A and B are shown apart, each in its own frame.
Chain A
């Protein structure tokens, strides 16, 4: 994989850019109008009638994935903090309620469960939620630092670049989810069937895409890094708490009817239920439909709303103020 990347200078490890800036004369331009003529990049004719072959798309994805991977590897503290957060919830928060919840059997469970068992799938999704949002944070960062401009130099469609970014973040997040699942298995009373760890994979990946898409969608509406903290509070916490991650929906309904409906309207609820069922080898069709639908909608909104001019040039944004 490394040799392919070094052959086509798609990714420069450590420095951030994914594709080499082929045309420095048009930093703010729409890449689809003024295409660079660097044939090394895509291996096809990239003149005015540019058509990128499949290998180019693959290169692009690998490049973006490698960049996310390097960022992930270099930020070990971020990896640790993404594990510590759900583990604290699991070991400290959930142990207090350990025996409190075993009062009703809800699918996919077939018997009474401890609260730790209940909360674990929600915490997997919490990791994905934070990562999805952090990725949009990194988009804002990229924009301010100018590396986004470099990314947009790629002759490939913008939607593909963003999709690659979503998938790359999703794949990296999965490593963290499985690390958490392993620790949960070791530390508390949580043991879904072994096969469940495999069936949960597509559900987790779809959830990662959904939350990444929401993050991306949000990032298109955030102008500055500083504004992001507020959005974290207004998005992450409500999404996590007003869902079935911490309490089953019937429990929410006991508390209040409107809270129950808010939970139902939250796509995160359905993502959590999708993962919860998948962990026990079951497919929750409704949850799948809603999660997949919401992913599509947010991804489309993010791609359509992505303003390359604003994304590429921090200076212009500041100038607008």
Chain B
């Protein structure tokens, strides 16, 4: 970053700092965050007001992907080594059910109908569709080798799965639960995220070191993001988690062992900044008013909290070993 650019950036942020920080301080911050700790078989509960861990719960083995039910009363937990998706009642923090997820569930996505859960089974090259009410498997869809990332379009029409070894995005039509198309991306796609209106899809490629932006209507790549961090070797830049702000302003990309989160202008695709967080940053989540972004840093075992307006990391909170997934409850 040139001196002049830095100066301009800093002066601008300084001017807006006073006013905006007041606005965001009073924002809805009574949120709590659930963090799955892959190695500890626990969930950590963080209060976003005090930025402290307020509770820890034991769950199934190797918890990874976690997501809230539509009404926020239940938390679905991929207990990968228990080969199940656990359902936690958030009023009592007890496991009330285990869903048949197929083997080794890692990432999953809940359809907007709040009924169907699409689970990637890494070892079986399958996507399993589970009904969360009847606890039954509705369908199993063959996909590429090592399925990983999952996303559902805002209108619920598409479910996207990435396969790490086949290097493809698989387009699943939710009306028929069939695979209808594939898009080839760079090596080892890990995560996919739709933008707010569902017109674009961002997909990270861990080994390729890129993020592909795909037009949903044509299912073609329209842009490819590259990253470069001063003082960090290129091989260490391994994009995984992605979050796009609802206002369409920013895209955040977790860069794995590069220990940084890239801030991307979601309109021009220009990388604006790199934020230093803990070691091996994998997944990201916004709080409810999107004033804060959270990241799980696996190796350093903490969660970094980013002020989205100032684009500044404000705290890193120690959680369990190898934090993986995040779910924010308003």
A19 to nearest B CB, angstroms?
45
Asked if B314 is an interface residue, CB under 8 A from chain A, the answer is: yes
Q: B10–A111 contact, CB under 8 A? A: no
Q: In the docked arrangement, what's the CA distance between A191 and B6, Å?
A: 12
Interface positions, chain A 76-111, Cβ under 8 Å from B, are 95-96, 98-100, 102-103, 105, 110-111
Interface positions, chain B 273-316, Cβ under 8 Å from A, are 276-279, 300, 302, 304-305, 312-316
A93 to nearest B CB, angstroms?
13
Asked if A187 is an interface residue, CB under 8 A from chain B, the answer is: yes
Q: Which residues of B contact A113 (CB under 8 A)?
A: 276
Q: Which residues of A contact B302 (CB under 8 A)?
A: 105
**Per-position binary interface string of chain B over residues 224-239, scored 1 when its CB falls under 8 Å from any chain A CB and 0 otherwise:** 0000011110000000
Asked if A185 is an interface residue, CB under 8 A from chain B, the answer is: yes
Q: B229–A112 contact, CB under 8 A? A: no
Q: In the docked arrangement, what's the CA distance between A96 and B231, Å?
A: 7
Asked if A186 is an interface residue, CB under 8 A from chain B, the answer is: yes
Asked if B3 is an interface residue, CB under 8 A from chain A, the answer is: yes
Q: B313–A112 contact, CB under 8 A? A: yes
Interface positions, chain A 242-280, Cβ under 8 Å from B, are none
Of the residues B17, B277, B279, contact of A111 by C-beta under 8 Å: B277
Asked if B7 is an interface residue, CB under 8 A from chain A, the answer is: yes
Q: B6–A186 contact, CB under 8 A? A: yes
Asked if B210 is an interface residue, CB under 8 A from chain A, the answer is: no
Interface size on A (CB < 8 Å)?
19
Q: In the docked arrangement, what's the CA distance between A284 and B300, Å?
A: 26
Q: A185–B10 contact, CB under 8 A? A: yes
Q: B304–A186 contact, CB under 8 A? A: no
Q: Which residues of A contact B7 (CB under 8 A)?
A: 186
Asked if A114 is an interface residue, CB under 8 A from chain B, the answer is: yes
Of the residues B3, B259, B313, contact of A187 by C-beta under 8 Å: B3
Q: B314–A111 contact, CB under 8 A? A: yes
Interface residues on B, range: 20 to 34
Q: B231–A99 contact, CB under 8 A? A: yes
Q: B278–A112 contact, CB under 8 A? A: yes
Q: In the docked arrangement, what's the CA distance between A169 and B313, Å?
A: 37
Q: Which residues of B contact A188 (CB under 8 A)?
A: 6
Q: In the docked arrangement, what's the CA distance between A111 and B281, Å?
A: 14
B274 to nearest A CB, angstroms?
10
Q: In the docked arrangement, what's the CA distance between A102 and B260, Å?
A: 10
Interface positions, chain A 151-207, Cβ under 8 Å from B, are 185-188, 191, 194
Q: A99–B259 contact, CB under 8 A? A: yes
Q: A112–B259 contact, CB under 8 A? A: yes
Q: Which residue of B lies closest to A96 (CB)?
A: B231
Q: Which residues of A contact B312 (CB under 8 A)?
A: 191
Q: In the docked arrangement, what's the CA distance between A45 and B6, Å?
A: 60
Q: Which residues of A contact B316 (CB under 8 A)?
A: 105, 110-112
B7 to nearest A CB, angstroms?
5
Q: B304–A103 contact, CB under 8 A? A: no
Of the residues A110, A112, A187, contact of B277 by C-beta under 8 Å: A112
Q: In the docked arrangement, what's the CA distance between A102 and B278, Å?
A: 8
Would you mind naming 26 contact pairs between A and B with Cβ atoms under 8 Å apart? A95-B231, A98-B230, A98-B231, A99-B230, A99-B232, A102-B259, A103-B279, A105-B302, A110-B314, A110-B316, A111-B276, A111-B277, A111-B304, A111-B313, A111-B316, A112-B277, A112-B278, A112-B304, A112-B313, A113-B276, A185-B10, A186-B3, A186-B10, A188-B6, A191-B10, A191-B312
Given contacts A103-B279, A185-B10, 8 further A-B contacts (CB under 8 A): A96-B231, A99-B259, A102-B259, A111-B315, A112-B259, A112-B276, A114-B276, A188-B6
> A residues engaging B (CB < 8 A)?
95-96, 98-100, 102-103, 105, 110-114, 185-188, 191, 194
10 closest A-B pairs by CB:
A99-B231, A111-B316, A110-B315, A98-B231, A111-B313, A186-B7, A112-B276, A102-B276, A99-B232, A111-B315
> B residues engaging A (CB < 8 A)?
3, 6-7, 10, 14, 17, 229-232, 259, 276-279, 300, 302, 304-305, 312-316
